[in-house]
Amino acid sequence: MPKIDNLLFLLKTTHGATKKTLDGISEENSLVTIPGNPNHIRWITGHMVASVVYQARALGLAAEIPKEWSGLFGRGVEPVSDNSLYPSMEELRSKLSEIHEAIEKGAEGKSDAELDVEVEVIPGWKSSAMNMANFFCIHEFYHAGQVTMIRHTLGKTRIFG
């Protein structure tokens, strides 16, 4: 079986699960935090958006977000106290969906050789395109789990099981 079949399964499964976790989250709900976790759904979603840009780049695809979003949601950035600085939940959901679609479409047909190419999407961190794309699926699913915990606190229905 070509590697791309495995990767596309993981991409589509992860992206679909993330979409489910974000469905039904209102602008107001997106700013709720739970004890012990200062990250609200809007920040987590923005962080996932910033991260899927790396996933796209690992696969040799173009994906961009507004520069100010990187400053709000990038690697190692803490949530800010002024929620008016954040883009709307709808903007974030839309951008995440746009990048997810571009990744899935752009990944189709990649050869094993293309997926084995060493890439460096973050300075000093090199691995194969396949490994990087897989890592960012794991990363996204971890954060989707955080959203699921907040959904539970909000009294939202379960999305899995």
**Digit-coded pLDDT (tens) for 130-143:** 999 999 999 999 99
User: What are the backbone angles phi and psi of residue 135, rounded to the nearest 5°?
Assistant: -55, -45
CATH assignment of the domain containing 134: 1.20.120.450
- Residue 62 has a pLDDT of 94
Q: Work out the average pLDDT over 94-109.
A: 97
Please check the confidence at residue 160 and state whether its pLDDT lies above 80.
no
Please check the confidence at residue 78 and state whether its pLDDT lies above 90.
no
Long-range contacts from 1-9, C-beta under 8 angstroms, 24+ separation: 2/111, 2/112, 3/110, 3/112, 3/115, 3/116, 3/130, 4/107, 4/108, 4/109, 4/110, 4/111, 4/112, 4/115, 7/107, 7/110, 7/115, 7/130, 7/133, 7/134, 8/104, 8/107, 8/108
Q: How many helices (H) and strands (E) does the chain have?
A: 6, 2
Task: With cut-offs at 50, 70 and 90, classify the pLDDT of residue 161.
Answer: low
Is residue 133 in a domain? yes
Is residue 160 in a domain? no
Is residue 125 in a domain? yes
Count of domains for the chain: 1
Integer Cα distance of 41 and 63 in angstroms: 22
Q: Work out the average pLDDT over 102-127.
A: 96
Please check the confidence at residue 146 and state whether its pLDDT lies above 70.
yes
Is residue 136 in a domain? yes
Q: Work out the average pLDDT over 65-82.
A: 92
Percent pLDDT > 90 in the chain is 89
Highest mean pLDDT among 35-44, 51-60, 70-79: 51-60
Integer Cα distance of 135 and 89 in angstroms: 25
Please check the confidence at residue 157 and state whether its pLDDT lies above 90.
no
Integer Cα distance of 77 and 86 in angstroms: 13
Supply the range of the domain harboring residue 130. 3-153
Please check the confidence at residue 6 and state whether its pLDDT lies above 80.
yes
Question: What is the value of pTM for the model shown?
Answer: 0.95
